[in-house]
Amino acid sequence: MAIALGANRYGKSGIRLATVDRDGERHAFTDLTIDVRLEGAFTPAHAEGDNSAILPTDTMRGACYALAREEPVGTPESFGLRLTTYLLEAAPAAELATVSLLQQPWERIAGDHPFTFSRAGGGLRTAIVSRGRSRDGDDVEVAAGVADLYVLKTSGSAFTGYLVDRFTTLPSAPDRILATSITATWRYTRLGLDYSQCADDVRRAVLDAFAGHDDSRSLQHTLWVMGEAVLASCPDVGDIHFSLPNQHHVPADLSPYGMDNPNRVFVATDRPFGVIEGTVTRDQR
């Protein structure tokens, strides 16, 4: 029987890198979790057990720590750019290197303390850098994102006018709680940006749009409005993808106790949950 190797990739996940910048009077602390992947001409490793083209995943791990010592880590995006450059140099068989980075934010406590921090709320900062081997560098892609950004509004959200069939029992909700955990990834259309500034801008656009959208008719509707706000405020963002779980807050049925419940008391549910995913992009027409 003839068989062939289809799409394949390999790498290391969950590399936990922390760095301290002690150069100033105030320390800076950076906390990253890094995933690395290589794709390319790795058929001999699979079909023949020939490892000569394989850069061990343990080396990918070691490289993260070594590169973090060679130069300051900087932004997740810039560290991803450096790491992908190294990976393509180190692994000649690789045609594409992809690095995903997740940064846990820490904030200073106790009155802007110089070296003491607490985990900040507001979700995680993410970046994805991929790099191919084209000579002119046009196959480097930098994307950034946020993850686990929990937001909720207690008014300004409805879900009505939907399709009804024989299995539909959902009551129409002219005023409901809208709650989600925003995971978004946006792609930049060029390199060399101030990535931290861009990330702050996108994040602010997302939150302001979520809060300001006081006529939300669905989570899809809010997704669109948030995407529009990002593209309007950030010219270097080409598109943005959202993955939005709908974390249902169901009004408690208090009628068995002879009580009404005018949208005051809710059962927060875990499962099942709705999932709304979509990309908002610039219209190319």
- Footprint of a second copy on 110-149 (CB under 8 A): 110, 113, 115-122, 149
Find the binding residues for a second copy in span 30-69 (CB under 8 A). Answer: 31, 35, 37, 42, 45-59, 61-63, 65-66, 68-69
**x/- map, 172-201, a second copy, by CB under 8 A:** -----x------------------------
Least distance CB 142 / a second copy (angstroms): 18
The answer to whether 27 contacts a second copy (rule: CB under 8 A) is yes
Catalytic-residue membership of 57: yes
Catalytic-residue membership of 27: no
Find the binding residues for a second copy in span 146-165 (CB under 8 A). Answer: 149-156, 159-163, 165
Q: How many residues bind a second copy (CB under 8 A)?
A: 137
The answer to whether 284 contacts a second copy (rule: CB under 8 A) is yes
CB neighbourhood size of 193 (10 A): 18
* 3-state SS track over 215-234: CECCHHHHHHHHHHHHHHHC
Q: Which two tokens stand for residue 44?
A: 């001999």
d(CA 184, CA 244): 8
Q: Containing H/E element for 78?
A: helix 76-90
d(CA 282, CA 232): 10
Residues 6+ apart with CB under 8 A from 112: none
The answer to whether 3 contacts a second copy (rule: CB under 8 A) is yes
Q: Let me know the angle formed at the C-alpha of 275 by 163 and 203, rounded to the nearest 5 degrees.
A: 120
Least distance CB 252 / a second copy (angstroms): 4
d(CA 146, CA 240): 11
Least distance CB 136 / a second copy (angstroms): 26
d(CA 89, CA 66): 15
Among 84, 98, 183, 218, binds a second copy (CB under 8 A): 218
d(CA 124, CA 11): 22
Nearer to a second copy, 192 or 241 (CB): 241
113, 109, 90: which is closest to 27 by C-alpha? 113
Stretch binding a second copy (CB under 8 A), from 25-33, 77-85, 132-140, 193-201: 25-33
Stretch binding a second copy (CB under 8 A), from 76-84, 128-136, 137-145, 248-256: 248-256
Question: Helix, strand or coil for residue 157?
Answer: strand
Catalytic-residue membership of 241: no
The answer to whether 241 contacts a second copy (rule: CB under 8 A) is yes
Catalytic machinery residues: 12, 57, 248
